[in-house]
A and B are shown apart, each in its own frame.
Chain A
Amino acid sequence: MRSDGRAGRPRGMGLILCIVAILAISGAGWLRLRADSSLEPLLPEHSEARQTILFFRDSTFADKAILWFRLKNGGSTSDLFAAADATEKRLDPHIIDRVIRPPSQASAIDEAMGLLDHAGELLNEDDFADLQSAITPAALSKRMRELYLQLIKPEGSFYPQMIRGDPLGISSRILSRLYSLSTGLGYRMQIKDGRFLSSDGQQLMLILETSTTATSLASSQALVAHLDDLCAAAPPNIQITPICGQIHTQQNEALMRRDMRVAGTINAIGFLLLFLCVSRDWRVGAVFLLPVVTAGLTIGFCALVYPKLSTMMIGLTVAMAGSAVDYGIFVYTAVWMGKDPSADLRRILRPLLISHLTTLGVFIAFLFSRIPAYRQLGYLTSISLILSLLAAIFVLPKLLKPGGSIVGLGRGMPLDRWGRKMAPITIIAPILFLAAVFIARKINFDSDFTRLDGVSPSVKNDEADFQKEWARSDTDLAILVVTGRTRDQAEEASDEAYRIVSPHFPEGQFTSLSSFWPSATTRHANETRWRHFWSPQRIAKLRQDLATAGEPYGFSASAFDPFFQILSNPPAENPPRLILASVQDQFTARSGTDWQMLSYFADTPANTTMVRGLLHDRPDAQVVSRGMLSQGFKESAISETHLLVGISVAFISVALLVLTRSVVKSLIIMLPSLTGLVAMLAALEMMSMSMSVVTVIASVIVLALTSDYGVFATYAFEGRETILGQGMASVHLSFVTTLVGTGVMLLAHHPALFQVGVSLTSGLVAGYLTAFLVIPGILQFHLDLCRRLEAY
């Protein structure tokens, strides 16, 4: 006795040390955890969709915010200006770097008028063909007539100075490209007194460059709080509305945290109530706590290796914790309620193993996914399940004390009698199944990932109204992003991309800074061409021809001297800084130390496919497109579905066939999974929801969990248990605990979590009912049939 006691103490100490070590390691992981609420983990690696999201994460393009001022209850434009001025004074310099302003009108006009001085740099090869034909005597005669007519028009007072400096209208070509840069971006506005105003003058836009990004939660929260303060301080007749991506980040995070808090609270209360209803004995509490503890430990372990776990996947892991309760029930009943604990343990090992392997197989399939969030879920749930099983077999028996009881365990109607009573339901079930299939067949896949955005309806309405008020068209713009290590490199790459892509678009449909102000290298090449073109002989001939063409209209001999001075002099040293400063915000961005040049075109599948095809061999060029992002989501979700469901079904099938050695039994075990999946799709369709990237996860989880129900129901029937026997009690308790976890998501405000809740709850309910009501009926029918055939 004494020697046994001494031998027991080191083993007990070893176990305690082990547990402490595990807790410490997991705790360290929890401290490192940085939960990620963004969509990024849901995108496949090395995909265009991921590159798109990373562009918005890393580029300064996404650090802008807009304050939208609107008059209400009358008021004038001066009220808008006063409100904008007052708001500017209240800007926090730690959050807002600067206000983006249009250039002052007087200075901008000087620069616009002076663009002819840069004509040599800005005209390209194609322009020279037109220039050649514009200086023929016939063309000049026609041109003089046009200029004369312009002088006669009511607005003619504005023309003389420009005509003298540019009789050929060269600057109009350059100015039209500048004009296209603003109109091509899809916003209609006017500039007045240094402010951006709507066409009707009733609204004003203040564009802010911030030091925040939409992918940083802390900075997004700070910015949104500051913008809310500014909006709250609006005068009574002005409404100020903030528009920025950071609002989405902040609201999604707040929503998800709120939902997780509610889910955690309800889960805890639900578990407690369940525990009190089922046992009322704290010694049985370990059975219910075990899966939650292992899930918690698993999250810590995974966070140690990969701190940035997806919030959604953490939530799903906790929700799935309930499914491992059945391990504890099985072990509990085997160890403490059976006559021979060792024999009972051996007896339950096969169904426990089948259940575990079928579930594990599904989650291991996730490890093969290209989507990081799916792989995270695979690691989290697989490790959690393995730990739950090991804890149930090796740890739980040491925690359980004799004398505890689970209400009703072992009682109730025998399953064979129950099966006979369920005969009518077994007959009706196929009809219901077919009806569900009929409904479910209509479901489609929703590629609009914005439906997973948890931002409030009022924010979505504001953004839609903003687009309606300020945008020129309903078509979104896609962005061609060309990256370079230096600004010059980026500009040269942008020029090259422009030369390749723009001829494939109608005029004005591909908006690029390269069309107006190309790189220094291109400008130098243009200038060389210009100087070569305007030889002294050509200039002299043009002077003569202009004088001849202008004489019938009274143009003086010195009328166009300013133009010839420009031709004879080198280009102006000073670039049009104000004009460039006003446009470059829309066409340049930084990503770390790299420079990005941005060009815009209508976001249609045909355009994005064409541009991607034209630049497929340029690693420095990337197309950022909302349409492509949606399509990318859809394609990846569909391909992942095929992969995951394929692997899962194959694994489960093989495992079942090997372990049951019966095709019929394997098919019966899979019935709850089949009905669960169909019911899930039918429920989504009836609620006018579509499949999405998150319901793909839910469908695979339904497959995994409901296969457990089939295993335990089948083995319970074969073991001649009652409806509250060991096997069925495991099904009931596993279902109820999982239902608490999934049902609470029906209260979620976040659309992605709500969709998962609908999918999982409907699938689990259908699978459970199949396991509890239909499988006993089918098995009894099968048994009776076999007996009759034998008798016959």
Chain B
Amino acid sequence: MNRTVPNLAVCLIAALTAPSVAQSPATRPSNDSATTLPAQATTRLSLALLDHLQQSLRTVQTVESDFVQEKKLAILDHPLIIKGHFALQKPDRLIWIVHEPVRYAVRIEGEEVRQWDEDTNHVDVIHLGGDPTFKAVSEQIQAWFLGNYDALAKSYDVDVLSEKPLSLNFSPKSDTMVAKVISHVQVTFSDDDTYINTMVIDEAGGDSTTIHFIATQVNQPIKDNVWRIPPNEK
């Protein structure tokens, strides 16, 4: 079966987990969330805190960080540990590089997507409009890291788990597409609220993904070789 054929279900899911730009009054979901909050959930995110967070994140022009991702999946015998590096530059430049356990990289720049992996050692060039998966990935990462929480708040119920450090829990609203895939997303910010330290994604099927961002640099120049595809050997 051809692996390059776009997976329509993935396209649909990925496209629809992007922040919803607008909702008509007739489809505005209720505020009641059927998902179970983590035990330490306290209060709903206030507008003042949301505004403060948006202001902090909007000053971010670039983000560069190493990451360690731990995936606990029912399909695997053991947790999958993924290590890599990512960089994000406004308005529309993103690169996600995986060093372990396999070497892989994807760079999204404007409408162009370049993807490489060590198996094929070939760079695939895709147009963003032709594959909503990447469009959704790009929009998601930008939303979480560059502060479009106003839009996120339309698709999710947001609760404050702690204020110092700021930790928020995002539960997708029950009648959204996202709720079919994700149970909740827990995000913990840095002390100055300018970048994310940890992100925990609990999926509806019981799987979970924890991403730790290490040695994050904000608003620092990003070297040209970071954007190279194929990436340099680490």
Contact = CB atoms under 8 A, between A and B. Distances in A.
* Chains A and B are bound partners: yes
Contacts of A170: 1
B213 to A, nearest CB: 14
Contact of B119 (A110, A145, A192, A195): A145
A191 to B, nearest CB: 9
A175 B27 contact: no
Contacts of B132: 190
A195 B27 CA distance: 11
Given A109-B177, A152-B104, A162-B7, A81 B80 contact: no
Contacts of A568: none
A330 to B, nearest CB: 76
Of listed B2, B75, B117, residue having the most chain A CB within 10 A: B75
A113 to B, nearest CB: 6
A146 B3 contact: yes
Nearest to B26: A85
Contacts of A201: 21
Interface stretch (B9-17, B35-43, B45-53, B57-65): B9-17
A106 interface: yes
Contacts of A131: 1
A790 interface: no
Contacts of A199: 129
Interface stretch (B160-168, B189-197, B201-209, B219-227): B201-209
B215 interface: no
A108 interface: yes
Contacts of B117: 149
Contacts of A553: 76
Contact of A78 (B9, B23, B104): B23
Given A85-B24, A130-B1, A146-B3, A175 B74 contact: no
B77 interface: yes
Contacts of B129: 199
B96 interface: yes
A116 to B, nearest CB: 10
A106 B180 contact: yes
B14 A155 contact: yes
B1 A164 contact: no
Given A112-B12, A176-B8, A555 B76 contact: yes
15 contacts: A81-B22, A85-B24, A85-B25, A85-B26, A108-B12, A110-B180, A143-B1, A152-B80, A153-B106, A157-B209, A169-B5, A172-B2, A173-B5, A179-B6, A195-B24
A193 interface: yes
Contacts of B152: none
A76 B9 contact: no
Q: Is the interface of B mostly helix, strand, loop or mixed?
A: mixed
Interface centre among B8, B180, B182 (most CB of A within 10 A): B8
A81 B102 CA distance: 45
B141 to A, nearest CB: 7
B176 interface: yes
A106 B24 contact: no
Contact of B12 (A109, A151, A194): A109
A556 B74 contact: yes
A157 B75 contact: no
B124 interface: no
A152 B101 contact: yes
A148 B21 CA distance: 33
A154 interface: yes
Interface of B: 1-3, 5-16, 20-27, 71, 73-78, 80, 82, 96, 98, 101-102, 104, 106, 117, 119, 129, 132-134, 136-137, 141, 175-177, 179-182, 201, 203, 205, 207, 209
Contacts of B98: 152-153
Most buried by A among B6, B26, B133: B26
Contact of B141 (A134, A154, A173, A175): A154
Interface of A: 76-78, 81-82, 84-85, 105-106, 108-110, 112-113, 130-131, 134, 143, 145-146, 148-149, 151-164, 168-173, 175-176, 178-179, 190, 192-195, 199, 201, 553-556, 559
B23 A554 contact: no
Contacts of B133: 155
- Interface hub of B5, B129, B136, B181 (most chain A Cβ within 10 A): B5
List the 8 closest pairs (A to B, CB-CB), nearest first: A78-B22, A81-B24, A169-B1, A175-B8, A77-B22, A559-B75, A179-B8, A176-B5
Nearest to A551: B77
Contacts of A554: 76-78, 80
Nearest to B73: A160
A171 B75 CA distance: 18
Given A148-B102, A152-B82, A160-B75, A193 B24 contact: yes
Residue from B21, B25, B73, B77 whose CB has the most chain A CB atoms within 10 Å: B73
Contacts of A173: 1-2, 5
Contacts of B76: 151, 553-556, 559
Given A152-B101, A155-B136, A556-B76, 14 more contacts: A131-B1, A153-B104, A154-B96, A157-B181, A157-B201, A159-B10, A160-B73, A172-B5, A172-B7, A173-B1, A175-B8, A190-B132, A556-B77, A559-B75
Contacts of A76: 21-22
A161 B205 contact: yes
A125 to B, nearest CB: 16
A411 to B, nearest CB: 81
A105 B12 CA distance: 8
Contacts of A148: 102
Contacts of A162: 7, 9-10
A105 to B, nearest CB: 5
A159 to B, nearest CB: 7
Contact of B15 (A77, A145, A190, A555): A190
Contacts of A110: 180
Contacts of A106: 175-177, 179-180
Given A105-B177, A168-B1, A172-B2, A157 B203 contact: yes
A790 B73 CA distance: 118
A519 B229 CA distance: 47
A130 B2 CA distance: 9
A199 B111 CA distance: 13
A149 B102 contact: yes
B115 to A, nearest CB: 9
B205 A112 contact: no
A146 B21 CA distance: 34
A109 B7 contact: no
Nearest to B80: A151
Contact of A149 (B25, B119, B181): B119
Nearest to A170: B1
Contact of B8 (A78, A149, A154, A178): A178
Given A105-B177, A179-B8, A556 B3 contact: no
A707 to B, nearest CB: 64
Nearest to A108: B12
A172 B11 CA distance: 11
A178 B73 CA distance: 29
Contacts of A559: 74-76
Q: Which of A109, A155, A190, A554 has the most CB of B within 10 A?
A: A155
Nearest to B98: A152
Contacts of B16: 105, 109
A101 to B, nearest CB: 12
B27 A194 contact: yes
Nearest to A148: B102
Nearest to A194: B27
A404 to B, nearest CB: 78
Contacts of B23: 78, 81, 193
Nearest to B82: A152
Contacts of B209: 157
Contacts of A78: 21-24
Nearest to B205: A161
A154 B106 contact: yes
A473 to B, nearest CB: 14
Most interface-central of A78, A105, A154, A176 (chain B CB within 10 A): A154
B187 to A, nearest CB: 15
